[in-house]
């Protein structure tokens, strides 16, 4: 099987939500069969590394196998949150797409749909 | 016992004003108890409403009340679709009176409205007592004026209000999910320890409370997650039977999409530990939830489990957050990035010259602003196109309105005193509210909660 390294965005989707200075980001495999692969590769430690430049102090990962989803809870990543952040996006709503862009995974090439920009 | 149909007409204060119209049209065709909820009360919205009420005792309910209620009141009353909403904000009685006035203008007769009162902690605790409570965020409330302190009430009070045989129930602060769970408890008569059914009702509420976020809005990603006719996205309608059986659908003949993917994203929205989502009615566990596509735009949800709720109630406390000053200006065409960088450094230098002490953030929009940190760490490591369109944005917070205005004015001055061809300045100076959460003993609050009819 030919494997290919792609950003999560190629094979998964997600959504970010805020509570104070804490952000949660869900990561959901388009194909539920890919869930074990995400579970193995999308670790809390890798997510913490991606967000450490914004002051993230801890990441907890919750697994939801029936939904083919992971939920990451990232502490102190919102630079104060809506209470104090100077970021245009104080809620961190756009952070789901930062994770989908920067966390890469190795997946079977055949998992990417025909015409996916990530095949180029 | 039949099914209960609950539609959502708004998922936040400022949501699309006409979204409820197709929801009501669809609910009118459903057999069973029908409800329409509007969730329009964010943490800060209530504090703003409280301030409005201080200036005018008749004000303090949602400023958008007319926008949401007027288009659907007649049809809702005619088809016996009951309305449950937190449009009451800081003044549910005022909201009820305003709806009676709208009813009179529209010729809607015999409208019965009840309110839930008692979420305002300032009626029970002194401001000093509230300031002494430890905050969940670990921050101090200092000696600042407390603008608002409201307890998140649960669904029981809403069920009690519906028992007064009314068309509309207006609340201030309850959990968002209670707007849905209250009607379910009222119709299905679920016991206070019927944990799994309460859990199914709570997840129904969690899915409905953000309106279009479960029906394809806040979801579309062209080429990856395509959503038909987003401009007319249909808002959600949940069907819940007496056993807690739950199907999520949406208003007929609308755009949008209900699929396992849209529902999964919304299940996990603003959820931390999925085995312990805390509400005053039940601790929800979604780890066993399964979804099944059962038809076009219809998803069945099973397997939410419930446990007893926490022993405390959550309170949001709002204090003055000073002022946010912002200014933006665009540079376009050849060498735009260098001109934007120059503008950013001019703003930083000007802030020093003016002796401004507050932390200043300067972004270049187009170069990764919202994904970056306060120091633009990512931008400095990126190779960016020198030509293009870049928008410089400066922002700072100050307790002093003048300082916030000053930084915004510095951006404006770049029109004539900055790099070449600065364009499209916009300035924003806005009052801010800071919030914190505290936990209290329900025994100190629940005896003060009451429901009552409000007459025209």
Q: Is residue A36 part of a domain?
A: yes
Share of chain B above pLDDT 90, in %: 94
User: pLDDT tens-digit profile of B32-42?
Assistant: 999 999 999 98
Mean pLDDT of B206-234: 97
User: What is the predicted pLDDT for the residue at A120?
Assistant: 75
Contacts of B150 (CB under 8 A, 6+ apart): B46, B119, B120, B121, B172, B173, B315, B316
pTM: 0.96
Which one has a higher pLDDT value, B301 or B434? Answer: B301
Neighboring chain A residues of B395 at a CB cutoff of 8 Å: 86, 88
Backbone angles phi, psi at A60, to 5 degrees: -110, 140
Q: Is residue A30 part of a domain?
A: yes
User: pLDDT tens-digit profile of A36-60?
Assistant: 999 999 999 999 999 999 999 999 9
User: What is the predicted pLDDT for the residue at A79?
Assistant: 86
CA distance B445 to B121: 8
Q: Is residue A55 part of a domain?
A: yes
Split at pLDDT 50, 70, 90, the class of B398 is very high
Neighboring chain A residues of B269 at a CB cutoff of 8 Å: 15, 17, 26
Minimal Cβ distance to B268: which of A15, A66, A87: A15
Share of chain B above pLDDT 70, in %: 100
Q: Which domain covers residue A25, as residue numbers?
A: 3-110
Mean pLDDT of A18-30: 94
User: What is the predicted pLDDT for the residue at B1?
Assistant: 57
Contacts of A36 (CB under 8 A, 6+ apart): none
Strand partners, B437: B316
CATH classification at residue A44: 3.30.70
**Closest Cα to residue A56, out of A42, A41, A46, A68?**
A46
Place of tokens 């994770």: A99
Question: How many Cβ atoms sit within 10 Å of the Cβ of residue B163?
Answer: 12
User: What is the predicted pLDDT for the residue at B382?
Assistant: 87
Q: What does the mean pLDDT of chain B come to?
A: 96
Q: Residue B81: is it exposed, middle or buried by C-beta count within 10 angstroms (0-12/13-18/19+)?
A: buried
User: What is the predicted pLDDT for the residue at B84?
Assistant: 98
Neighboring chain A residues of B392 at a CB cutoff of 8 Å: none
Cross-chain Cβ contact B377/A53 below 8 Å: yes
Q: Is residue A116 part of a domain?
A: no
Percent helix, strand, coil in chain B (nearest 5)?
30, 30, 40
Q: Which of A25-39, B123-137, B413-427 has the lowest mean pLDDT?
A: B123-137
Cross-chain Cβ contact B274/A71 below 8 Å: yes
User: pLDDT tens-digit profile of B72-114?
Assistant: 999 999 999 999 999 999 999 999 999 999 999 999 999 999 9
> How far out from the chain centre does Cα B262 lie?
19
Share of chain A above pLDDT 90, in %: 86
User: pLDDT tens-digit profile of B340-353?
Assistant: 999 999 999 999 99
B221–chain A nearest CA distance, Å:
9
Strand, coil or helix: what is B279? coil
Backbone angles phi, psi at B154, to 5 degrees: -95, -165
| Region class of B5: left (phi > 0), else alpha (psi between -120 and 50), else beta | beta
Strand, coil or helix: what is B328? strand
User: What is the predicted pLDDT for the residue at A30?
Assistant: 96
Q: Is A19's pLDDT higher than 90? A: no
**Closest Cα to residue B252, out of B272, B273, B236?**
B236
Contact B287, B327 (CB under 8 A): no
Cross-chain Cβ contact B264/A83 below 8 Å: no
Q: Tell me the three-class secondary structure of chain A, residue by residue.
A: CCEEEEEHHHCEEEEEEEECCEEEEEEEECCHHHHHHHHHHCCHHHHHHHHHHHCCCEEEEEEEHHHCEEEEEEECCCCCHHHCCCCCCCCCCCHHHHHHHHCEEEEEHHHCCCCCHHHC
The answer to whether residue B438 neighbours chain A at the CB level (below 8 Å) is no
Contact B113, B75 (CB under 8 A): no
User: Is the ipTM beyond the 0.90 threshold?
Assistant: yes
CATH number of the B320-436 domain: 3.30.70
**Closest Cα to residue B365, out of B407, B336, B345?**
B336
Q: Is A66's pLDDT higher than 60? A: yes
Q: Which of B43-47, B52-56, B324-328 has the lowest mean pLDDT?
A: B43-47
Q: Is residue A100 part of a domain?
A: yes
Q: Is residue A23 part of a domain?
A: yes
Q: Both tokens of residue B177?
A: 């999910």
Q: Is B162's pLDDT higher than 90? A: yes
Q: Both tokens of residue B235?
A: 């808002």
User: pLDDT tens-digit profile of B115-139?
Assistant: 999 999 999 999 999 999 999 988 8
Q: Is residue A117 part of a domain?
A: no
How many residues are recorded in chain A? 120
**Closest Cα to residue B390, out of B324, B342, B325?**
B342
Residue span(s) of chain B under CATH 3.30.70 come to 320-436
User: What is the predicted pLDDT for the residue at B44?
Assistant: 84
Question: Can you count the helices (H) and strands (E) in chain B?
Answer: 12, 18
Cross-chain Cβ contact B137/A21 below 8 Å: yes
Contact B155, B118 (CB under 8 A): no
Split at pLDDT 50, 70, 90, the class of A114 is confident
């Amino acid at each position: 099987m030919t494997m290919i390294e792609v950003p999560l965005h190629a094979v998964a989707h997600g959504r970010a939500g805020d509570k104070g200075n804490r952000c949660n980001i869900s990561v959901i495999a388009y194909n539920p069969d890919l869930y074990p692969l995400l579970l193995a590769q999308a670790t809390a430690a890798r997510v913490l590394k991606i967000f450490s430049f914004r002051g993230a102090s801890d990441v907890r990962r919750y697994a939801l196998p029936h939904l083919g989803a992971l939920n990451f809870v990232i502490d102190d990543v919102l630079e104060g949150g809506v209470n104090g952040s100077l970021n245009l996006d104080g809620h961190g709503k756009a952070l789901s797409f930062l994770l989908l862009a920067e966390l890469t995974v190795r997946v079977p090439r055949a998992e990417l749909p025909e015409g996916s920009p990530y095949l180029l | 016992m039949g099914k209960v149909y609950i539609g959502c007409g708004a998922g936040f204060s400022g949501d699309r004003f006409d979204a409820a119209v197709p929801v009501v049209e669809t609910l009118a065709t459903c057999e069973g108890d029908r409800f329409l909820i509007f969730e329009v009360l964010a943490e800060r919205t209530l504090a703003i409403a409280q301030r409005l009420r201080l200036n005018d005792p008749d004000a303090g309910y949602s400023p958008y009340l007319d926008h949401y209620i007027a288009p659907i009141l007649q049809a809702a009353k005619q088809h016996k679709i009951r309305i449950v909403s937190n449009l009451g904000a800081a003044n549910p009685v005022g909201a009820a009176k305003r709806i009676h006035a709208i009813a009179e203008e529209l010729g809607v007769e015999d409208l019965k409205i009840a309110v839930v009162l008692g979420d305002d902690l300032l009626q029970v605790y002194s401001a000093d007592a509230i300031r002494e409570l430890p905050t969940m965020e670990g921050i101090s409330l200092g000696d600042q004026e407390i603008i608002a302190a409201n307890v998140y009430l649960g669904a029981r009070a809403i069920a009690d209000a519906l028992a007064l045989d009314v068309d509309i129930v207006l609340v201030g602060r309850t959990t968002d999910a209670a707007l849905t769970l209250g009607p379910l408890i009222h119709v299905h008569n679920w016991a206070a320890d019927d944990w799994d059914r309460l859990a199914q009702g709570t997840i129904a509420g969690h899915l409905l409370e953000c309106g279009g976020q479960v029906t394809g809005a806040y979801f579309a990603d062209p080429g990856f997650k395509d959503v038909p006719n987003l401009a007319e996205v249909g808002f959600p309608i949940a069907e819940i039977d007496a056993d807690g059986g739950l199907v999520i659908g949406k208003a007929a003949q609308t755009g949008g999409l209900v699929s396992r993917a849209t529902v999964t994203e919304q299940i996990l929205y603003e959820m931390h530990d999925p085995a312990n989502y805390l509400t005053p009615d039940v601790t929800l566990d979604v780890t066993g939830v399964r979804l099944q596509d059962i038809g076009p735009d219809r998803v069945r949800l099973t397997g939410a489990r419930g446990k007893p709720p926490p022993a405390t109630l959550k309170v949001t406390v709002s204090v003055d957050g000073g002022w946010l000053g912002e200014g933006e200006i665009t540079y376009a065409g050849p060498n735009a990035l260098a001109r934007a960088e120059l503008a950013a450094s001019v703003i930083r230098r000007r802030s020093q010259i003016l002796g401004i002490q507050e932390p200043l953030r300067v972004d270049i929009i187009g170069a990764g602003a919202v994904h970056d940190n306060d120091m633009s760490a990512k931008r400095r490591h990126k190779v960016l196109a020198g030509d293009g369109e870049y928008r410089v944005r400066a922002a700072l917070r100050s307790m002093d309105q003048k300082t916030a205005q000053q930084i915004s004015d510095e951006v404006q001055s770049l029109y004539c005193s900055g790099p070449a061809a600065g364009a499209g300045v916009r300035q924003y100076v806005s009052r801010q509210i800071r919030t914190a959460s505290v936990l209290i003993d329900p025994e100190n609050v629940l005896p003060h909660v009451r429901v009552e009819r409000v007459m025209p």
